[in-house]
Chain A
Amino acid sequence: MSTGIPGWVPVEHRWFGLDRRQMKPALFVLVVALLLIYGWPALNAIVPWDNPTKVGDVLDLGDGATAVPPVGWQLEDGALVSDRTGVSATNDNVKLVKAGTTIQMTGAAFNGTAAQFLDQVISSEDPDADISDTPATFTTTSGLVGVVRSASGTGGDELLAAFKMSRTEPAAAPALLVEVAAVPGEFQQVSSEVDTFLRSITSGANE
């Protein structure tokens, strides 16, 4: 039978008041946990992105909706039409990155107009953000009408564009949010590429 008072550490097993016998499992847990928490991010930091967009690439936004990405940007999230993966228009995510600029596209289910959707996005994300009061209308080459608002600050420039992905029945159609964020001084360099990209958005073959 085991003897002794629970919690009493014999003197020969003490190290700065701690029980040396339990040091091994405690250190094992600490080391494995730290490896998982910091090891993967460290490895991630040294593995480079290598998925640049090429001429002829077309992004699949679900339900036949598409967009043509600017060439040479890193496609970090999202599917191309050629991948044939079956994208959901209400659950779509696309991320394009070039230097200090990021384009993030998010599909969502929303009943209402593009302007109402953009208001909902702004109020849910940061109601106090310094975003221009007057949304501007933006029409893509295919005739899809959306709204655009922008913001500038010491952290950089931001552009928000919202679309309802149907020209005929926009109220019940899936919504698409495009967020462009650029570090200070970067937006001017990519503005024409962003403009071309936004204009390339189509609402699908069935429209």
Chain B
Amino acid sequence: MTVTISTAKNAQLEAIDESGWGAPFKFFQPHNPAFWVYVIGVGAGALGMIKYFGPALGGTYRLAVTSGIVFFGIYLIPWLIFLRRQNRYTAQPGRLLATGFVWGAVAATFWIALPANTALLEIWTKLLGPTGASTWAAGLSAPIDEEWSKALGLILLIALAPRLIRSAYDGFIVGAFIGLGFQVSEDVLYAYNNATSSFGVGQLESSLFILAIRGFVGITSHALFSAIFCAGVMWVLGRAPGERRVGRGILACLAAMCLHFAWDDASGLFGWSTFLVVVGPYLILMPLAIATLLVVRRLASAKERAWMRELLAPEVETGVIDAPLLDAVSGLHKDRRHFGKLVHSRHRARHLVESAGDLAQEIAAAGGQETPRVAHARAEVLRLRRT
């Protein structure tokens, strides 16, 4: 018995070390060159942003820009709630995710993608002619410039938090936040551009129109593409033991870029059918993008789920957590649904899963040691199991 517990405890300590869970994230790292590149990127992006929006804020297009910021600021809330729910298993700290979001919103857009896209779009126009470019140039430019500009943020965050970003699922979550930042920033830019195309007439209506259009298509936009791309980057880098899968990683990156291409050039791809030009993006591309995302998420979460099981294994052996609860807290959506049926209450199941997650988090934060917080989290699990 003693040997079994010791083995489980060793596996737990190993999981804490491998996952980096519980490690703090400190943004200000003047000794780290990645910190300075981040500061340069966000600083240059902020200057680009001021240059782009500055005249508008002080002049004719003030309403378009401010309403765009307000509308898409509100639009951000459900996204943050949704992504917070995805940030499960060995969850990433909020400050790290915020750092990624800012990179996506400021540096990836206004420092890199805007000048890069402008030049590449013109190159395609020269090579394909204006008509060919209007059909294909966006899809041949954005997946290169934008997916790379966002993924560079992940590389910087790995250098800033090497212990925290280890698994493909870490890349998936961080990528989603970088992509969300990019998406919202681009949405505000679109609201402004749409107002300029009507020379400032009906700016509020214009922003609402962009909110409706971009809000809906945003479901399968930058957050999704980046989550897939960055999971792919993590598989290529293989930062967690046994997770180096170069082929799978390259496939994931290409899948994100192909989806981005298809979305941007849907009118060209479905050009042979007027019906498909209208509905193809929603009936074909959207389900395809979501299916790809679910497959990547499932594959990427394997390591995290294994770590979660190892983290809580000693608690299973002492009877604090039973096997079905362990399956639920370390499992997929179907495991949590199954657990809900088992305890005859989705509400109670959610509380139990959350409390087991709290316990895992406290154990990781304490480095596997016994602390008052670990004891309290354990007592909470036991209290909920008794009710």
Closest B residue by C-beta to A121: B199
What's the tally of chain A residues with a CB closer than 8 Å to chain B?
Answer: 51
Rounded to whole Å, the gap between the CB of B173 and the closest CB of chain A is 19
Q: How far is the CA of A7 from the CA of B29 in the complex (A)?
A: 7
Given A33-B149, A36-B112, A110-B201: A26 and B130 interface contact (C-beta under 8 Å): no
Residues of A within 8 A of B126 (CB): 44, 47-51
- B-contacting 9-mer, from A75-83, A129-137, A181-189: A75-83
Kindly supply a per-residue 1/0 record for chain B positions 117-143, scoring 1 wherever the CB is within 8 Å of any chain A CB and 0 otherwise.
Answer: 011101101110111001100000000
Residue of B nearest to A79 (CB): B131
Taking a contact as CB atoms under 8 Å apart, the answer to whether B152 and A79 are in contact is: no
Q: Which residue of A lies closest to B30 (CB)?
A: A17
* Cβ of B33 under 8 Å from chain A: yes
Q: From residue A187, how far is it (CB to closest CB) to chain B in Å? A: 24
Secondary structure of the B side of the interface?
helix
Are A29 and B367 neighbours in the complex by a CB distance under 8 Å? no
Contacts of B13 in A (CB 8 A): 1
Please count the residue pairs between chain A and chain B whose beta carbons lie under 8 angstroms apart in the complex. Answer: 133
Knowing A19-B32, A27-B33 touch, does A47 contact B131 (C-beta < 8 A)? Answer: no
Of the candidates A32, A43, A91, A123, the one whose C-beta lies within 8 Å of that of B152 is A32
Please, how many angstroms separate the alpha-carbon atoms of A44 and B148 in the complex? 19
Which of A33, A41, A117, A121 meets B112, CB within 8 Å? A33
Contact call A37/B115, Cβ cutoff below 8 A: yes
**Is A55 among interface residues, defined by CB-CB distance under 8 A?**
no
Contact assessment for A33 and B24 in the assembled complex, using a CB-CB cutoff below 8 Å: no
| Set B122, B156, B197: member contacting A25, Cβ < 8 A | B156
Which label, helix, strand, loop or mixed, suits the secondary structure of the A interface? mixed
Chain B residues with Cβ below 8 Å from A27 are 33
Q: How distant is the Cα of A110 from the Cα of B156 in the complex, in angstroms? A: 47
Known: A29-B156, A108-B198, A124-B60. A80 touches B131 (CB 8 A): yes
How far, in whole Å, are A51 and B130 apart by their CA atoms in the complex?
A: 9
A77 and B132 CA atoms in complex are apart in Å by 10
Residues of B within 8 A of A26 (CB): 32-34, 36-37, 156, 159
Contact yes or no, A40 B158, CB < 8 A: no
| Chain B residues, Cβ within 8 Å of A127 | 60
Per-residue interface assignment for chain A, residues 42 to 68, with 1 indicating a CB less than 8 Å from any chain B CB and 0 otherwise: 011001111100000000000000000
Q: Which residue of B lies closest to A41 (CB)?
A: B119
Q: Contact between A19 and B31 (Cβ–Cβ < 8 Å)? A: yes
Q: Contact check, B148 vs A7: say whether CB atoms are below 8 A apart.
A: no
CB pair B112–A19 under 8 Å, yes or no, is: no
Nearest-neighbour CB distance to chain A for B247, whole angstroms, equals 22
Q: How many residues of B contact A (CB 8 A)?
A: 53
- Interface positions, chain A 97-134, Cβ under 8 Å from B, are 106, 108-110, 117, 120-121, 123-125, 127
Counting chain B CB atoms within 10 Å of each CB, the highest count among A19, A120, A124, A177 belongs to A124
In the complex, whether B229 has a CB less than 8 A from a CB of chain A is no
Complex contacts, B367 vs chain A, CB 8 Å: 1
For window 14-35 of A, CB contacts with B under 8 Å fall at 14, 17-19, 22-23, 25-30, 32-33
Complex CA distance for A112 and B70, rounded to whole angstroms: 30
A-facing residues in B349-382 (Cβ within 8 Å): 367
User: A125: which of B24, B119, B199 is its contact (CB, 8 Å)?
Assistant: B199
- A17 CA to B32 CA, complexed, in Å: 9
A129 to chain B, nearest CB (A): 13
The docked-state distance in angstroms from the alpha carbon of A44 to that of B142 is 16
Chain A positions within 8 Å of B26 at CB level: 6-7
Task: Say yes or no for A154: interface residue by CB 8 A criterion.
Answer: no
Complex-state Cα separation, A171 to B340, whole angstroms: 63
Q: How far is the CA of A125 from the CA of B196 in the complex (A)?
A: 9
- Is B41 located at the chain interface by the 8 A CB criterion? yes
Closest Cβ of chain B: how far from A89's Cβ, in Å? Answer: 13
B163 at the interface (CB under 8 A from A): yes
Any A CB within 8 A of the CB of B155 = yes
Is B130 a contact of A33 with CB atoms below 8 Å? no
Q: Does chain B have a CB within 8 A of A151?
A: no
- Is B116 an interface residue when CB atoms closer than 8 A count as contact? yes
Q: Is B145 an interface residue (CB 8 A)?
A: yes
Residues of A within 8 A of B200 (CB): 120, 123-124
Give B117's nearest chain A residue, CB to CB: A40
17 pairs, CB–CB < 8 Å, chain A vs chain B = A2-B17, A7-B29, A23-B33, A26-B32, A28-B155, A29-B37, A29-B41, A32-B152, A36-B112, A40-B116, A44-B119, A49-B126, A76-B130, A77-B130, A117-B199, A121-B199, A127-B60
Known pairs A41-B115, A43-B119 / 20 extra A-B pairs, C-beta < 8 Å? A6-B23, A7-B31, A25-B158, A26-B34, A29-B34, A32-B148, A32-B152, A33-B41, A33-B111, A40-B115, A43-B123, A44-B119, A44-B122, A47-B126, A75-B129, A91-B197, A110-B198, A110-B199, A123-B200, A177-B199
Contacts from A to B (Cβ < 8 Å):
1-2, 6-7, 9, 14, 17-19, 22-23, 25-30, 32-33, 36-37, 40-41, 43-44, 47-51, 75-80, 83, 85, 91, 106, 108-110, 117, 120-121, 123-125, 127, 177
* A-B pairs with lowest CB-CB distance, top 4: A40-B119, A26-B33, A124-B200, A25-B159
